Amino acid sequence: MNLRWYHFALWALFILVMALIPELVSKGTLRIIIFANFLAIFAISWDVLSGRTGYISFGHPFLIGIGAYTSAILTKRFDVPIEYAIPAAVLMTMVGGIIVFLPALRIKGSYFALVTLAFMELIYQLVQVVRPDLTGGTRGMSGIETLTRGAVNGYYLSASLMVVVALSMWLLMRTQLGTALSAIGMNEESVRGSGLSTTRLKLFAFLTSAFVAGLGGAFYVHYLGSIAPRALFDINFLFTIIVAALIGGASTIIGPVIGAFFLTFLLEYLRPYLPGAERYFIYGMIALVLYMYEPKGLIQLFSNAWNSLFSRRESAGNQNSDQAGKQSDAL
């Protein structure tokens, strides 16, 4: 797995900072960070699938929505205790993940992105029409049981969930499995040509991604206490998830976390200066320019800065710190 001392140090620092945040910031800021935590979970879920394998999912709100709706319906309409509802929701989302997976067996690239987009629109329309007595139809549901009361508790729950998800996904992706999934993103045929069943690998990536999405979706709905189809199955929501993952740095797990915090705070800090829609305009423009300038994301910018500051080795010039780490392992 190739763990180095600074990995432990950085994770410990990260967890420490996350634990101390409620002591340092106001309740209002804390509520913003809660959203950043959930966004980070969704972005990690997207990253595990799309960031790695290059199968761009435009349907993540579909997965998150299954998780959120299942748990909401189970607790509100059938009085299922939350501790059973959430696992059931995660399971349901994984079933949804398999459904999205089926087309991926045959189609690649742009077509896959389109079919996932179709799935999202499909469920958006179905949720409003089919059994509105269960789903709440167009207006959605409110008064859903919440897990926590108050910003501090909500923060600790969301932060722990985010840290656990991030750490476990990060560890998982540092194994050979992560390498194999990245390889699919670079050249799927060559992965098959190396004797690896890409079907199995992709299925695993979909299930893992759906697991995280379902978990995040279910906890999210029990934090909010309400759910509305237009807010969930929305291109703007999808946009925020994808951009968080990409701006932070796809295929890195930590990148999406950085991206989620960056986007959430960007939006919040623009609020006093630009209260209206122009905020989204600026926000989108910044995202676009950043993405065009460095498609590998903020984490690459940090890593470049780190390299130019501390590493004078010529050979490390255009390698990221990860590779540099392995290099020092080898020598």
Partner 1 sequence: MKTALEIENLVKRFGGLVATDNLSFHIEQGQSVGLIGPNGAGKTTVFAQIMGEHLQTSGTIRLYGKDIGSDSTPERIRKGVSRTYQVPRPFTDMTVLENIRVGQMPNSIWQMIKSKPQYEKEVELALSVGFSKTDLHKPPGELSMGDLRKLEMARTIATGSSVMLLDEVFAGLTVAEIAQIGALIQQMHKDGMTFLIVSHDLKALEPLVDSVIAINYGAKIAEGNFNDVMDNDNVRSSYLGAA
Partner 2 sequence: MQIIIQGLLLSGLYALIAMGFTLIFSVGRVLNLAYGAYLMIGGYVYFTFSQTLGVPKLAGLLLAAMVGCIVGLLKYRLLVKPLKGNHVAVEISTLILAVVIQAAVVFIYGDSSKILLPIIPGVVQVAGASVTYNLLAATIGSWVILIGLFWFVRKTHMGRAMQAVSMDTKGAAISGVDPDKINMVTWGISGALGATAGVFFASYTQLSPSMWVAPLIIAVAVVIVGGIGSIIGALIVAHIIGFMEVTAVALIAPELRGVFTMLLIITVLIIRPQGLFGREELQ
Whole-number minimum distance, CB 322 to partner 1, in Å?
10
Measured from the Cβ of residue 328, the count of other Cβ atoms closer than 10 Å reads: 10
One-letter amino acid for residue 114 of the chain: L
Q: Any contact of residue 314 with partner 1 (CB under 8 A)?
A: no
Q: Any contact of residue 119 with partner 2 (CB under 8 A)?
A: yes
Q: DSSP strand E in the chain: where?
A: 141-142, 226-227
Coil, strand or helix: which one is 302?
helix
Whole-number minimum distance, CB 9 to partner 1, in Å?
22
When the beta carbons of 193 and 276 are compared against partner 1, the nearer one is 193
Left, alpha or beta for 233 (phi > 0: left; psi -120 to 50: alpha)? beta
By a kind-dependent CB cut-off of 5 to 8 A, residue 183 interacts, out of partner 2, partner 1, none, with partner 1
By a kind-dependent CB cut-off of 5 to 8 A, residue 186 interacts, out of partner 1, partner 2, none, with partner 1
Which range touches partner 2 (CB under 8 A), out of 41-49, 174-182, 241-249, 301-309?
Answer: 241-249
Give per-residue burial for 12-38: e unless 16+ CB within 10 Å, then b: eeeeeebeebbeeeeeebbebbbbbbb
Whole-number minimum distance, CB 97 to partner 2, in Å?
15
Asked whether the CA dihedral 206, 207, 209, 214 is positive or negative, the reply is: positive
When the beta carbons of 33 and 180 are compared against partner 1, the nearer one is 180
By a kind-dependent CB cut-off of 5 to 8 A, residue 288 interacts, out of partner 2, partner 1, none, with partner 2
Q: Which residues from 143-202 bind partner 1, rule CB under 8 A?
A: 172, 175-177, 179-180, 182-183, 186-187, 189-198, 200-201
CA 50/CA 185 separation, integer angstroms = 8
One-letter amino acid for residue 101 of the chain: F
- Residue 127: half-sphere exposure toward Cβ, Cα within 13 Å: 27
33: which 2 tokens? 């960070």
Binding site for partner 2 (CB under 8 A): 54, 56, 58, 102-103, 106-107, 109-111, 113-115, 117-119, 121-122, 125-126, 128-129, 235-236, 239, 242-243, 246, 276-281, 283-285, 287-288, 291-292, 295
